[in-house]
A and B are shown apart, each in its own frame.
Chain A
Amino acid sequence: MTLGEVLLVATLAVPLVTLVLALSSGSHRRTTILLVLAAIPALLTALFAESGTTVVLPQALLSLVLSLDLPGRLLLGAAALLWIATGAYAVLSRRGRENDNPFPIWWLATMTGSFGVFIVADLVGFYLFFTLVSLSAYWLVVDDGAPPAKRAGAVYVSFALLSEAFLLLAFVLLAVATRNDSFLIRDAVAAISTSPLRDPAMAFLVLGFGIKIGLVPFHVWMPLTYASASIPVAAVLSGATVKAGVIGLIRFLPFGVPLPGWGETLTALGFVSAFYGVLIGITQTNPRTILAYSSVSQMGLIAAVLGMGLATGNSITPAAAAFYAMFHILAKGGLFLAIGVAQKTRHRTEWTVLLPAAVVVLGFGGFPMTGGAIAKYAIKSPLGDGDVAMLAMVSAAASTLLMLHFLRCLRASRSHETRTTSAAEQSFIWLAIVVAVVALPWALYPAVIQASAHDALSFDALWKATWPVLIGVLLFGVLGRAPRILPMIPPGDIIVLQSWAWSGAKALGDATERIDEYLRRWSIAGSLLLVVTLALIGSFYVGR
C-alpha cells in the first residue's frame, strides 16, 4: 500500500475506531480531545494523497471503493479543517459536560459520513455514507433537548429521510442502467446518459440532492435547524454536512456531454433559491437564521453553476463548483463560530470579532482580494458571459446586502453583560478560520483551475467584482433607513404550511384507524374472506 492509500483508508478508519472507543469507554474526559484528532487523517489525505488514489476494500467491508479526485480532495480538506476547528470549539464550550453522552458518538458518526461521501466511488458506499451523515446529524440537532430543537430535529429528519428515499430510487435506476454490471458511480453515470431511464434518474437525483442542499421549496429545515442547534453543530451542519449534496450533484450529474433540459432546469431552480434566500433572509433578525437563508442562497448559486455546466458540457464545472463550495465550507462554518464568540465578547473588544467577520462577509459578495472574490472568479467559466452571468452578478449584490444585514444583527447580538466568560481560545479558533477563508482559495486557485490567479487582479476583473458589492452596500444603506417596510416572516417561511399538512395527515390517520377498526370486525372480516377468494378466482381468469 502506498502512503496515499493508507491515508485514504485512515480518513474513515480513524474516526470509526475513535467512535468505538467513545462507545466503550466509561469516562469521556479522555476521549473528548479525540474529537479533534480524529479529523486529522482526513486533512492529511487532502494534503498528501494524490488525486487518483484508489482503494478497493474487501467484501467483508461491503466491497467499498474509495477514490480521491480533485473535487473530493478540495471538499475533504476544507471539511477536515472545519471539523478540527469546530471540534476544538465544541470541546472548549462543553467543558464540564464531558460525560454528557452521546454527543461525542454522534459527532464522530456524522464526521465519518461527512468525510465518506467525499472519497467513496461506488453507489452503495455513497448511499451508506450519505445516510450516515444525514441521520447521525439528527442526534446532534436534538442534543440540546429543548422543544425548539426537538421540533427542528423532527423537521430535519423528515427531510433527510425524504431525500434518501429519492436517492435510493435514483441509485437503483443507475445500477439497473449498467445492468447490474458495475456499481462504480463513474460507470453508472456513463451508462445513464444514454439509457431510457435517464429522465427519471435525473429527476430523483435532483430531488434527493436538492433537499440536502436546501433548494427552495425544500429549504425549510435549514433555518429551523441552524437556529436551534448548538453553535458548533450549526457550524458543521452549514459548512460541512450540506456539502454531501454538493458532492452528490458533482459526482452523479453527467458532465462533459451537453445535456440540455436538465441543465436549464437545475440552473433555474438554483437561481430561484439564490434570490429567495436573500429575500426572506433580510426580514430576519436572528443572525443564525440569516446565515441559514444565506446558505439557501449560496447553495442555489452552486446548483446554478452546476446546471449551466451540465447544459453546456463545460468540463471544468465540477472543479469550479467544488472550489466555490470549499470557500463556503470555511466561510459559513466560520461565521457560525463568530456568532458564538460574539455572544461572549465584551463591548470594548467587539472589533476582534466584527472586523474579521466583515472580511468574510464581503467575500460572499466577491469583494476584491477576499477569498470569495477568487471563488466567484472560478465559477465564471461555467456561468458563461450571457444573461446568466448577469444574474450571478445580481445575486452577488443581493448576497452583499444579506451579509451586511447579518453583520448588523451580529453586532446587536453581542453580550451586554460587563463580565462574561473569557472566549480567548474560541476567538483564536475563529481567527484561524478567517485566515484560511482568505488564504486557501488564493493559494489553491492555480492548481484547481489551471490558470494564474493574476487574471483575477486585472482592472477589468476587479471592477466587475466591485460593482455588485457597491450596489449591495447601497441597498443596505437604503434598507437601513427604512427597516419598517419589511414584513415579519417566521423562520422557515413556508413551514407555516406544516400545520395544514399536519392536520391533513392527521385526518388521513384518523380515517385509517376507523377503517382498521371496521375491517377488524368479525362480520366484515368474514365477508372479506369471501371477497378476496372471489377476487383471486377472477384474477386467474383476467390474465389469460
Chain B
Amino acid sequence: MAAAETSSIAGLLLVSVLILPVVGILAQLALGGRFLNWICLAVFPASFGVSAATCAVVWSHGEPLIYIVGGWQPPLGIALRADGISAAMMLVTAIIICAVAIFARVEFTQPSGAPEARAPFVFWALILALWSALNALFLGCDLFNLYVALELLTFAAVPLVCLKGGEATVKAALRYLLFALLGSMLYLMGTALLYGAYGTLDITLLAQRVHPERVTWIAAALMTVGLLTKTALFPLHLWLPPAHAGAPAAGSAVLSALVVKGSFFLIVRLWFDAMPGLGHTAGPQLLASLGAAAILFGSVMALRQQRLKLLVAYSTVAQIGYLFLMFPLAMAAEQSWTSLAWTGGWLQLFSHAFAKAAMFLAAGLIADALGHDRINDLGGAGRLRPLTFCTFGLAGLSLIGVPPSGGFVAKWLLLSASVAEGQWIWAAVIVVGGLLAGGYIFKVLGRAFTAGSDAPVIVTPVSLSREVVAFSLAVGAVLLGFFPLEPAEILQIGRPEILGSTVP
C-alpha cells in the first residue's frame, strides 16, 4: 500500500460518502414521512457533491486516497481506499442514483394530508442504503468488510423488487433473496479458508502472501462463484429476469445499472488486486467463456421476449457477459494491450449503466403511458411519445455499439485488445452480440415508429420532466462515446505495474 494519506480532507470525503446516505435514513426514521421531501432534498445533493469531490481529488492527485479509520493500521483497523476505478464507480453511481431519484420523486412522494404511505418510506430508505453499500464496496480494502457491504447491498436490493406487492413480484424477490444468500455463503466460506491459511483478509497483504496452492484455488473459486450468483452471470442468471422486470421502473434501473455491478466490482478486486496470480491460470478463459455464453444466450432470449421490460432484463443478462471478456484480455501475458482491454471493460460497465438505466426508465414510462408493455401492440406509439422512444433508441444504439456512444468505444477497445492479442474468439462474440442487440432494438423501434393495425392510446399522461430525466441518462451513454480510444488515465490510478504499461 502506498504511503497512507490520512489528511483530514481525505478522511472527511471518504467517511462522508459512506455516512451521508445513512444519516438520511436515520433522519427519515426520526422525523417521519412528513419531512421526507426535505430530507431527500438535503441528502441527495450532499452525497452527490461528496462523491464528485472524491472523484475530482483522486483524479487531480493522480494517486489513491487512503484513510485509516481511527488511526488503527490494517489488518487490525479498517482502511478506506479510493483508487481510480473506485472514484469512477462512485461518480457514475452518484449520477445514476440522483437521476433515478428525480425520476421517482413523483411516484414515491408522501401524499400530503393523508396518512403516511409505506411504499415511499421504504423506497427512499432502500435507495439510500443501496448507495451507502455500493460506496462501501468501492472503498473497502478488506474481504470481510466487503462481505458486510455486499450483504447490505443484497438486503437493500431485494425489497426493491417487491415494492409494488403482488404474488409474482414477491416470488421473484424470494428467488433473488435465496439465490443471493447461497452466493453469500459461498463467499463467506472462501474468506474463512483464506483467513485460516494466510491469517489476513486485507487485500494488499493477501496479494503478498497468497501462494499458488490448493486452498487458494478453492477459496478463490468459492468466492468468485458466490459473487457470480449475485452478478447473475449465465448460467447463474435464474433470478434476474423476473426480478428486474418486476420491480418498479426506478428500482429496475438501479438494480440493472448498479447493483449487479457491485458484485462484479468485487470480482475484479479479488482477481486483479488480491490474487493477480489467477491471471496465469485458465480461470480468466473460463470466466470469459461464461461471459460469451451470456452474450449469445441473453441476446437471443431478449429477441424472443414479448414484453418490453423482460426484453430489457434479458439484455442485461447479455450485457453482463461483456464485462467478463475483460479478464482474459486485461490479464494476458503479453502486456502491451492489456491496459486497452482494462479501459474497454470499465467503459462497457459505465455505458451499460447509463444506457440500461435510461432504458428501464423509458420502458417504465411506456408501460405507464400505454397501460401495457406488449411489444406487438406498440405500433405507432413512437409518434405519441417521441422523446421516450428516442431515449430507448439512443440507449439501444449504445448497446449495439453504434458511434458515437460509450458502447462503441468499449467495443472498439475490447475488440482491439482481442485481435491484437490473437484471442479472436472473443472478437467474434462481441460482433455477434452487437448484431443480436441490433435485432432486438430495431424490433422495438420498428414497431414503435410504424403504424400498427390499431393505434395505441395514452391511458395515463406521463410528465415531461420524467421523460427528460430518462433522456438525459441516454445522452450520458452517448457522451461516453467522446472518450478517446486509448487507455484512460483515471482508471489506471492505483493500479499495480501490471496494468500500468501503455501501448508502445
Contacts and interface: CB of A to CB of B under 8 A. Distances in A.
Contacts, number: 156
A60 B383 CA distance: 32
Contact of A168 (B220, B431, B482): B431
B218 interface: yes
A537 B304 contact: no
Contacts of B192: none
B225 A536 contact: yes
Given A509-B300, A512-B300, A59 B420 contact: no
A509 B304 contact: yes
A153 interface: yes
A110 to B, nearest CB: 15
Contacts of A176: 416, 419-420
B225 A145 contact: no
B374 interface: no
Interface string B387-431: 000000000000011111000000110011001100000010001
Interface of B, helix, strand, loop or mixed by DSSP: helix
Interface string B52-67: 0000000000000000
A6 interface: no
B33 to A, nearest CB: 38
Nearest to B299: A512
Interface residues of A, number: 60
Interface stretch (A76-84, A124-132, A186-194, A407-415): A124-132
Nearest to B303: A509
Contact of A525 (B179, B290, B304, B439): B179
Which size bracket describes the interface of B in this complex? Answer: 35 or more
A49 interface: no
B225 A529 contact: yes
A59 B483 CA distance: 9
Interface in A111-168: 124, 127-128, 131, 135, 138-139, 142, 145, 150, 153-154, 157-158, 161-162, 164-165, 168
B301 interface: yes
Contacts of A161: 400, 434-435, 438-439, 442
A168 B300 CA distance: 21
A539 B451 contact: no
Interface stretch (B1-9, B253-261, B277-285, B349-357): B277-285
Contact of B225 (A150, A520, A525, A532): A532
A162 B222 CA distance: 40
Contact of B212 (A59, A542, A544): A544
A532 B304 contact: no
B403 A139 contact: no
A142 B304 CA distance: 22
Interface stretch (B19-27, B75-83, B126-134, B228-236): B228-236
Contacts of B402: 131, 135, 164
Interface string B452-495: 00000000000000000000000000000110111000000000
A282 B424 CA distance: 43
Interface in B243-263: none
B182 interface: yes
B281 A544 contact: yes
Contacts of A515: 297
A179 interface: yes
A260 to B, nearest CB: 25
Contact of B482 (A60, A154, A158, A164): A60
Given A142-B449, A540-B220, A529 B420 contact: no
Nearest to A135: B402
Nearest to B382: A102
B43 to A, nearest CB: 34
A536 B186 contact: no
A535 B218 contact: no
Contacts of B416: 172, 175-176, 180
A540 B451 contact: no
A59 B228 CA distance: 38
Interface in A472-518: 508-509, 512-513, 515-516
B446 A153 contact: yes
Contacts of B47: none
Interface in B270-297: 278, 280-283, 285-286, 290, 297
A29 B62 CA distance: 55
Contacts of A532: 225, 228, 235-236, 290
A172 B412 contact: yes
A168 B401 CA distance: 10
A173 interface: yes
Interface string A517-531: 001111001101100
Contacts of A179: 503-504
A529 B182 contact: yes
A124 B403 contact: yes
A533 B186 contact: yes
A225 B89 CA distance: 45
A62 interface: yes
Contacts of B278: 540
B224 interface: yes
B340 interface: yes
Contacts of B481: 62
B482 to A, nearest CB: 6
Most buried by B among A63, A128, A520: A520
B286 A513 contact: no
B221 interface: yes
Contacts of B484: 59, 63
A541 B281 contact: yes
B268 interface: no
Contacts of B68: none
A128 B301 CA distance: 29
Nearest to A532: B225
A197 B419 contact: yes
B280 A165 contact: no
Nearest to B413: A172
A509 B438 CA distance: 16
A89 to B, nearest CB: 23
B186 A169 contact: no
A543 B280 contact: yes
Contacts of B222: 533
Most buried by A among B236, B300, B411, B482: B300
Nearest to A512: B300
B221 A173 contact: no
Contacts of B283: 536, 539-540, 543
A173 B297 CA distance: 27
B44 interface: no
B217 interface: yes
Contacts of B301: 512-513, 516
B236 A529 contact: yes
A226 interface: no
A540 B236 contact: no
Contacts of B280: 543-544
A423 to B, nearest CB: 28
Given A172-B416, A533-B225, A536-B224, A150 B281 contact: no
Contact of B450 (A101, A150, A183, A525): A150
Contacts of A522: 238
A180 B286 contact: no
Given A172-B416, A512-B297, A529-B182, A128 B404 contact: yes
A529 B229 contact: yes
6 contacts: A59-B482, A135-B402, A153-B450, A161-B400, A515-B297, A539-B285
Which 5 pairs between the two chains have the least Cβ-Cβ distance?
A543-B281, A543-B282, A520-B238, A536-B221, A540-B217
Given A164-B402, A525-B179, A542-B281, 15 more contacts: A59-B482, A59-B484, A131-B403, A138-B442, A157-B438, A168-B431, A176-B416, A512-B297, A515-B297, A519-B237, A520-B238, A532-B228, A537-B218, A537-B221, A540-B278
Interface of A: 59-60, 62-63, 101-102, 124, 127-128, 131, 135, 138-139, 142, 145, 150, 153-154, 157-158, 161-162, 164-165, 168-169, 172-173, 175-176, 179-180, 183, 197, 508-509, 512-513, 515-516, 519-522, 525-526, 528-529, 532-537, 539-544
